[in-house]
Amino acid sequence: MNKRKLPIGIQTFREIREENCYYVDKTDHIRRLIDEGKHYFLSRPRRFGKSLFLDTLKELFEGNEPLFEGLHIHDHWDWSVRYPVLRFDFSSGNYQGPDDLRKEVAVQLDALENEAKVSPRDENASERLRHLMKVLHERSGQRVVLLVDENDKPILDALAVPEVARANRDFLHSLYATTKDCDAHIHFTFLTGVSQFSKASIFSGLNNLINITLDTCYSAICGYTDADLDTVFAPELPGLDREEVRDWYNGYSWRGEEKVYNPFDILALFNSREFGACGFKTGTPTFLIEILLDRGVSSMALDNMLGTNALLSTIDLDHIATEALLFQTGYLTITETENLGGTLFYRLGYPNREVRQSLNESLLNHLTGHSSRRVEHSARLYDLLLVNDFEGLKTLFHAFYASIPYEWYTNNDIANFEGYYASVFYSYFAALGLNITVEDSSSHGRVDMAVHFNDNIYLFEFKVVELASEGAAMAQLKEKGYADKYRGLDQPIHLIGVEFSKDTRNITAFEVAGA
């Protein structure tokens, strides 16, 4: 198989097909959607291929047959029928101003009316949309296809300005509500976004809107599977460690049996041939870091959160649940599903090394207030761990906490000091991409943190001295026999008890023992 052009940054189906780019066929999902329903909503993180999927729908309904040669749906579609398509795209632009959304919708309606040669009307957006759908249906004899890309961005953009966010939400509700009266003119509706803001208040105008975000049938509707990489992208794999590709980028799950890769990450990897945080080079959003710190969320807790379908599917403007925010933005994914009393609970964790490493780097940069100092500390940590220089590690960890500005403590209400200190500790290891397990269970209990590195095992227990007697951390490591679980690996095991003081805001004890 010969190499093809990498579709980096290309969200246009026609360009991908006509330029002979790599393309992962998603038209089997499209066929199923059309056969089984009418109104759909899909939530996926940014850069996951939602815009390309919508563009594929547009080309299909407009009957552009040559673009679908060789794809699944080609022989299962009536190419003699062409549907009028109305597509709204909110992925670009900024919607923080009070009239930004209204103006943008007016511009898009102008373009749609002009393209359809429908005389503009001096009415509000809802009335214009209603009139446009009615005219297109009557003129073509076919009902309209309505596609909306990133429908929630006008709300997400304005989260820092609650009154604008609410106004944008209400405006979108009014716009979408027109479809309730125009259902007879609509053949198919598909909306995408990162989140689903209160289905009852925004999407009440859409009859029988089906949210397929957590539908196992559509878990791979966006993103690449392992099978896709091994077939479609086979020419790009030589020279890359296949397991390393999985470790860095695979792992996103929406309850399907197959985990998926973010397409942006994979295309960037094939282009650069270097592993790294491809999708996070612009950094983690500041508002996300601030929410985590303001709420006192421990970085150690992020890899083992719990949520329900209702919690993960919606975001309430009056309170954005931490779990929903992290899941919908792609920083956490579903690692396990549990049915408890008829209610599905989802265990959440980092999808892959890229996300875990990038998020913890951002947390540390925010805490230390000095990214270059954090980088120096991280590099030193790696070097010391390579040679098991524990005295050097103790000195370095003192520097970790001393580097956190005093103002951070005075401006933040830390309810759980032990969790906070342990979080900083954990984030330094996680930012290096090391193999870490938090609260690893054994028959004796749960050790706070286990690190597997360089054929060594490091077991950490954390305590705040005001809450326990000195030496309690090491005593617990030994008395609980946490090391027993790891003896079968036949690797050196190091017990490390770390104790902190709220008064000095630093380490008071750093004990190391063999097991």
Q: What is the sign, positive or negative, of the torsion defined by CA atoms of 362, 363, 369, 370? A: negative
CA distance 119 to 515: 81
- Looking at residue 294, what is its pLDDT? 80
CA distance 235 to 2: 6
Percent of the chain with pLDDT over 90: 63
Contact 218, 29 (CB under 8 A): yes
- Looking at residue 338, what is its pLDDT? 87
Contact 357, 278 (CB under 8 A): no
Cα–Cα–Cα angle for 102, 105, 110, nearest 5°?
125
- Looking at residue 52, what is its pLDDT? 97
Number of neighbours of residue 416 by Cβ within 10 angstroms: 13
Contact 97, 143 (CB under 8 A): no
CA distance 351 to 338: 18
243-258 pLDDT, tens digit per residue, is 999 999 999 999 877 8
- Looking at residue 394, what is its pLDDT? 94
Q: Return the SS3 of 452.
A: strand
CA distance 268 to 379: 25
CA distance 485 to 442: 6
CA distance 4 to 101: 39
CB environment 379-388: b (16+ within 10 A), e (fewer): ebbbebbeee
Q: What is the sign, positive or negative, of the torsion defined by CA atoms of 479, 480, 485, 491? A: negative
3-state helix, strand, coil in the chain (%, to 5): 45, 20, 35
Spans of all domains in the chain: 25-218, 369-514
**Topology of 25-218 in CATH?**
Rossmann fold (3.40.50)
Adjacent-strand bridge partners of 252: 260
Q: What is residue 150's DSSP assignment? A: S
Number of neighbours of residue 154 by Cβ within 10 angstroms: 25
CA distance 341 to 177: 36
- Looking at residue 413, what is its pLDDT? 52
> So what CATH class is 369-514?
alpha beta
Beta-carbon contacts of residue 426 (< 8 Å; ≥ 6 apart): 299, 300, 360, 436, 438, 449
Q: List the alpha helices (DSSP H) in 37-149.
A: 50-61, 100-116, 125-140
Which residue ranges in the chain fall short of pLDDT 70? 196-207, 279-284, 314, 369-370, 406-418, 442-444, 466-469
- Looking at residue 443, what is its pLDDT? 64
What are the phi and psi torsion angles at 404 (to 5°)?
-80, 125
- Looking at residue 367, what is its pLDDT? 74
What are the phi and psi torsion angles at 509 (to 5°)?
-150, 140
